[in-house]
Structure formats: C-alpha cells, structure tokens
Amino acid sequence: MNYRIKKVAVLGSGVMGSGIACHLANVGMDVLMLDIVPADKLDSKDKKIRNSIADSALIEAVKSKPSPVYEKINAQKIRTGNFTDNFNDISDADWIIEVVVENLEIKRQIFEKVEAHRKPGSLITSNTSSIPIKLLAEERSDELKAQNYAAMLGSANVIGSVLDADTEFGNDMTTDEKKERVARSMGYLEWGVALSDWGSEDMTGINTAIADAKKFIG
C-alpha cells in the first residue's frame, strides 16, 4: 500500500519528540506536536500555560546547537498543543508517532486515545526503545495490529542482516547486542504472525527469519 503523508502528529515533546517534529518540518510536512498540561496548571484557562510544555520544548529545540531545524522558518510548520484540549486534532493526521515516556501503561493509554480519534488508514508508530511492540498492541484493533506488514518484512531483514554480519550490522555489535537486536525483531514478527491474517501475503521470509532467530538466541 502506498501512503501520501502531508500531516504528522507527534505525541510527546521531549528531546526525541521535538527532534522528530523538527526533522519532519524540515522536509515540508505540517506537524502537530502535543504534550501534557503542566500538572500544577490543570485548572488554568490560559492556552499558553496549558501548551507550555510543548511550546518550551520547541523553543529549546530551535535554540539548541546543533539545532534539529535546518532553518528557523521551518519551525513554523510545527503547531503545538496539549493532550487534553487538542487530541482530536490528530484526526486529519496521515501519520501518528507516539513518543511519550517509556512506561507501558501510559503508552497504552495514548494508543487507546489514538484509536478513538485517528482517521481510518492513518499510520500509527511508536518510538519506544525498550517496550516490545507485542505489549503495546494488546487490546488494540485488528486494523492497527495488521497495518504494518511492510514493517514485519523490515524486521525480518534486520534479523538477516545481523546474522549475516553485513556492512550495516554485525562488526560493531557484541554477541549480546546481536541477540538483543534479533530477539526484539523476532518478538515483533511473532506478534504479527499470531494476531494478523495476511491473506495471500507470502510469509516464507518472515517464518524463516523467526526460525533463524530462535536458533541464534537459543
């Protein structure tokens, strides 16, 4: 399936979230970046106060050296807001990226809200660095579980690259690092196979990658 991405919603405005938002703006995309309302300002009616976490993150990103924005004018492509008042604004986003704190329950709450407000067919991704996708996808819709067959193939290719020790992976990784990378990719593939019906899609490469991964990590 081909996607035309014009607008992206970035959920979380920390160093990673604001950096991702800036790089997307650099290539001309319209970006909505949301974060929480400050805990001590929940009763405030002032929009600037309620959006202050996302606003401050964007300002700091633009000021940082090196800055993730190639030209300051690019930051104008980024609109900020907060989860409480502006979550419905993700409804016209073509791609939604979750970049909140590495906490499983918080991420699950975000994905639940995403499914309530997203438009059909939008891409949903996570920037998690440590939580298995299988856990994030539990209790989510079949569409969300099944939309990234291409990502499954990508994970299969990662396993093959690590095991082959090609130019991208392998030489700079210890055995434990290789096992961690392979295990993470295998976990995603097993989740996809277990919870998705790919119809006529050829699963040979994915099943082979899972078998090779199991042999490697023991």
What are 31-41's pLDDT values in tens digits?
Answer: 999 999 999 99
Alpha carbon 113 to its chain centroid, in Å, reads: 15
What is d(CA 208, CA 217) in angstroms, rounded to the nearest whole number? 14
> Which of 103, 121, 146 delimits the end of a domain?
146
Structure-block tokens of residue 198: 């790919």
Looking at per-residue pLDDT, the higher value among 192 and 23 belongs to 23
What is d(CA 68, CA 60) in angstroms, rounded to the nearest whole number? 10
Residues 38 and 114 grouped into a single domain = yes
Residues 32 and 62 grouped into a single domain = yes
pTM for this prediction = 0.69
What is the pLDDT, as a whole number, of residue 186? 83
Residues 131 and 24 grouped into a single domain = yes
Number of Cβ within a 10 Å radius of residue 28: 9
What is d(CA 209, CA 182) in angstroms, rounded to the nearest whole number? 9
What is d(CA 87, CA 101) in angstroms, rounded to the nearest whole number? 17
Residues 117 and 164 grouped into a single domain = no
pLDDT band (50, 70, 90) for residue 1 = very low
**DSSP character for 119?**
P
Residues 61 and 12 grouped into a single domain = yes
What is d(CA 103, CA 42) in angstroms, rounded to the nearest whole number? 22
What is the pLDDT, as a whole number, of residue 114? 94
Query: Does residue 2 surpass a pLDDT of 50?
Result: yes
**pLDDT > 90: percent of the chain:** 51
Residue span of the structural domain in which 30 resides = 7-146
**CA nearest to 95, candidates 139, 32, 36, 51:** 32
Least trusted range by pLDDT, from 46-50, 137-141, 164-168: 164-168
Residues 23 and 74 grouped into a single domain = yes
Structural domains of the chain, count: 2
Residues 201 and 111 grouped into a single domain = no
Query: Does residue 135 surpass a pLDDT of 60?
Result: yes
Check which CATH number belongs to the domain holding 34 and give it.
Answer: 3.40.50.720
